[in-house]
Structure formats: structure tokens, C-alpha cells
Amino acid sequence: MPGLTEPLRSRLQFTFNGQRSGTPDWVQELEHGDDPGFFGPGSAVWAVHGGMSTIPAGVRALLVQALHPGALAGVHDHSRYREDPLGRLAGTIRWIFTVSYGSQEQATAASQWVLRLHEKVTGTYLDRHGVSHRYAANDPDLLSWVHMAFCDSFLAAALAWGAPIPGGADAYVRQWAVAGELMGVQEPPRSVAEMNSQLAAFDDAGVLERTSRTDEVVHFLRRPPLFPILRAGYPLIFDGAVGTLSPRFRSLLELRGPHIGSFELPTRAPAALMLRGIGGVLGAEPAAAMAARARRERLGIVDDVPAPARRR
């Protein structure tokens, strides 16, 4: 039913990659390269990053990142997320998919490019006690927090709405530690237990806090400037993302799911229905994964994990 789905498809594609139709040039470039990449079909990374659960995962990751005042100061002072939110989203997706599906050379180059951009992201912020702190996006602590906010969020969303993860949750954390190392993270966690311990350490040290800037980010994420055709279903995605937060993070953010009186309404099933509908429009596998399969085939690599049935 292209007459009904094409308007939705074009707006979804523009939201995620800045193009209403066709495949972005950078995705096509993933077919090139002389090595199979850091990950392949059958990996935990492909399982987690290849499904629609990445949509609420991205919302959740931004909510978690906003609890660190240093990370939030960098976004507030240097990011154009208010003026060009879709451009920033497309840039983030490009890095994620290049590391996930590109050759090792492409993944390394993409990460180095981001690190060079981060060199300019410096400044100061006041904590809740009025004490001034310096921040730099490439500081080891900030890099570690951003990496874990991402990893924890994409894992939580995949466990809620994704396909089974080969090797389980620990395999994903261990494999995505490669991305952390590419971004300069020192000793990224390699198991769920390690990640939870390191996340708790930030809280135990009194680093995490909710400020007026946090509230600005939450308000923006609750009502982002989406195309009208996408706005109706977005609250289900946002509520689903909130529902996967740990009780501690929800408490810090002062977020509640939809409720009637004291009774909280379910969020996982409604989000699942929305994600299933989006998947039906966009297809069974990201174009970046298809490009990676083509590269691997050109290199003579035989994968025993077949591609999902393509809908696009």
C-alpha cells in the first residue's frame, strides 16, 4: 500500500538520515573497505542495533546523559540540538552505524572525526552547590559516562523490544566496549555487572543531578519538533523509553509514566505496537547492514546468518 505508507516512510527516513528517499552516500560507502569490520551478522551488536528498539533507546540515552552536569553543559553550550535536532540525530546515527557495520578503518576514522569535533567542546558549569567545574567532552570521565549511557540504554531497549541477543546481555556490553575504546574510553565495562557498578559510582560520588538544564532536555525530548504525521505516535515511544529507566534514574529525573491517579498505565506493549508499525514501513534490516553484507560478500566472507526478509 505505497500510497498510504510512502508519506510516512519519507518522513521517517528524513528524521533518521536527512533524506526523504534513496540511500545516503555514507551508507553506500560502507560497501567499500578491505576488512569485515569489528562486528558481523550473528554478533550481539548487529542484533541490538539492527532493530526498531534503537528508537526508544536513543531517547533513553539522552535522558540518562542529561543527568551528568558536565555532559549536559557541553550539549547546552556547544550543541545545535534546538536549532537542528534532526541534523544532530542523523550525525549520531551515522557514527553508530559506521562503527556497527563499517570496516574497521571506517569505524576508526568516524570515531576520530567525532573526537576532533569534541576538542572544541570545553567550558565551565556550576553544580547544585554553586561550585564551578571545568568540563571537556574528551575528558575520560565524560567519555565513560556517555558511552555507558548509550550502552545501558540500547541494551535495556533491546531486552524490552528486540530480538534475542546472541551471547546475551554481557556479550553486547563486551562487544560495544570496542566502540568505547575507539572513542577514548579508558577501561570500558565488559559485562552488565561492571557497567552497573560504574554507573552507580557516578551516583555514589554525587555527580549526577537534576537541574533546570536537565528539565529543558526532558521537555524537549517529550515534545520534539517532529513532522505532524509522526507526533501522534511519539508519546508511546517516549513513555516506553521512560519505562525502561532504572528506578534511581527515574527518581533523579522526576519522571513518571502515564497514569490514572496512582495507577501507572503499561508502556511496553503500546511502544511495541508502534515499533512494529515503524518496522513494517522501514523494513526488516537497516540499509547500513545490507551494505556491510555486500562488503563481506565481496571480500569472500561466508556468513551463516541469513539476512532478514527485506521489505524495502
Give the pairing of strands 132-136 and 122-126. Answer: antiparallel
Q: What is the pLDDT of residues 255-286, one digit of tens each?
A: 988 878 778 888 999 999 999 999 998 887 89
Q: What is the reported pLDDT for 310?
A: 46
Q: What is the reported pLDDT for 4?
A: 54
Q: What is the reported pLDDT for 309?
A: 54
Any idea which residue has 546475551 for its cell? 168
Residues 100, 285 contacting (CB under 8 angstroms): no
Q: What is the pLDDT of residues 142-186, one digit of tens each?
A: 999 999 999 999 999 999 999 999 999 999 999 999 999 999 999
pLDDT above 70 as % of the chain: 96
Residues 289, 101 contacting (CB under 8 angstroms): yes
Residue 311 has pLDDT above 90, yes or no: no
Rg of the chain on CA atoms, in Å: 19
Give the residue, 270 or 308, on which the prediction is more confident: 270
Q: What is the pLDDT of residues 81-128, one digit of tens each?
A: 666 677 778 889 999 999 999 999 999 999 999 999 999 999 999 888
Ordered DSSP codes for 264-310: EPP-HHHHHHHHHHHHHHH-SS-HHHHHHHHHHHHTT---SSPPPPP
Q: Which residues contact 303 (CB under 8 A, 6 or more apart)?
A: 40, 41, 42, 293, 296
Extract the C-alpha cell encoding 237: 515511544
Residue 14 has pLDDT above 90, yes or no: no
Rounded Cα distance, 254 and 248, in Å: 10
Out of 74-83, 231-240, 271-280, least confident range: 74-83
Extract the C-alpha cell encoding 178: 570496542
Q: What is the pLDDT of residues 179-227, one digit of tens each?
A: 999 999 999 999 999 999 999 999 999 999 999 899 999 999 999 988 8
Residue 29 has pLDDT above 90, yes or no: yes
Q: Which residues contact 227 (CB under 8 A, 6 or more apart)?
A: 11, 14, 15
